[in-house]
Structure 1
């Protein structure tokens, strides 16, 4: 490679990000720090919060960038558990196999907190990288209850 020339790295480019912290949800998910370490706080209402908020947030975020859910070819989602994944799939009206990589990650590794979305991204890149120029969306959920959205272009 010639000095000064640039080569595009393999993988997606981040187009935009958006974070949502849902008011009054601090009791839903988080960590309690005590003398013996961290203890996870996880309320059974997480799937209901996903159902209540995620679709609106995702569609508004995509629309701000001229993208629709049907334009997204790769859904890289935090494997927050079966009920959460079902809520994501239902509320976003995803195609039947859109979350296959996420479901496989959940089965193989479990829910590793919000960082587990990075395992799903690595698996997506390794098993079936999307076509260059197509859209992807990374969705993670975390303490407080919050959602993190990352619009990517392959």
Structure 2
């Protein structure tokens, strides 16, 4: 029995043009040579519009305590998550009471009771619903989330629901970090979003994408290349310039191994959902896999329109692919994060009559 992605829902905070965010806020944080460097980073980020639950144009959270940020996380994430889950359930034709497992991925906020409990309550899920919280895995968390929920569906024969919700805007770092290039890059790329996915047993789904395999590789020798540290002033991103080189060393081998187990090659994939961690990340993946520009059009489009939203981002790319006039037959999802870790998920179009 395969688990099939039978519904998706997206919820986004208000969007702002990247140029407006630069001119209205970040340009004032830098002077001299650092301002020229920061402006170049913002202009070359590949991001044209971005969303923020807490926009720096309205509220400057840079000097907020972590406690204050976490309280605001609950206030903003609950309605955003509720909207995404409600839309996913609607597109799948299921009700909240049908869900057997509710999994939530987030690395930008923590509280107990968490989103899994509060949203299950507010949306009317069964008191017997099982819950799973996947925290602090970062940008690739959606794929182990898909792995856990699809395993549940396959083993139990009941629907599961996955929500990825991130509010990176709450972790703006204070002006004292204005000379830190890693922080400038983070501020230029990251954005907010929530995406929910419903997974259904194949014999209960009219159509969708069957989850064929979820696989990963972690290079622990480069664990310090990407970090997400809890500080007294929110969570601080560490992002080495060596990350693309590490991905280049591992991505082809992981992809080839997964595809070989299904008797496939790269040429058999007609849909690529690659997490757009930044322009250089996409360039490396394209080069290592020998893909043409069209293959990563959806990933670059998501980066441009939404920014890097951490865990929901690869699901935004998947949503763009599945809404095409001619949706792909096979989709390979790729996401990367702390570890350094690379995750791959193979999806294949499925119908009851297939």
Structure-1-length-normalised TM-score: 0.89
* Counterpart pick for 1:100 among 262, 274, 297: 297
Post-superposition CA distance 1:58-95 (Å, at most 9, x none): 11111112111000010111001111100000000012
Closer/same/farther in 2, CA of residues 9 and 45 from structure 1, 3 Å limit:
farther
Name 2:339's counterpart in structure 1.
Answer: 144
Superposition deviation, residue 7 in structure 1: 4.4
Query: Quick check: 1:47 aligned with 2:239?
Result: no
Superposition deviation, residue 9 in structure 1: 4.3
Kept in 2: contact 1:113–1:142 (CA 8 A)? no
Superposition deviation, residue 129 in structure 1: 5.0
Kept in 1: contact 2:298–2:320 (CA 8 A)? yes
Counterparts of 2:206 and 2:233 in 1: how far apart (Å)?
43
Deviates more, 1:48-57 or 1:83-92: 48-57
* Counterpart pick for 1:135 among 326, 330, 337: 330
Detail structure 1 runs of 4+ shifted over 4 Å in the superposition.
none
Superposition deviation, residue 21 in structure 1: 1.0
Closer/same/farther in 2, CA of residues 148 and 35 from structure 1, 3 Å limit:
same
Larger radius of gyration, structure 1 or 2?
A: 2
Counterparts of 1:4-153 in structure 2, within 5 Å, are 6-131=203-328, 134-153=329-348
Post-superposition CA distance 1:90-134 (Å, at most 9, x none): 000012300101001011111122431011111112234525xx2
SS at match of 1:32: strand
> Between Structure 1 and Structure 2, how many residues are aligned?
147
Kept in 2: contact 1:76–1:117 (CA 8 A)? yes
Structure-2-length-normalised TM-score: 0.40
What do you get for the CA RMSD once the two structures are aligned?
1.5
Post-superposition CA distance 1:29-52 (Å, at most 9, x none): 120111111111111111111111
Structure 2 unaligned spans of 5+: 1-202, 350-354
Counterparts of 2:219 and 2:334 in 1: how far apart (Å)?
15
Structure 1 unaligned spans of 5+: 1-5
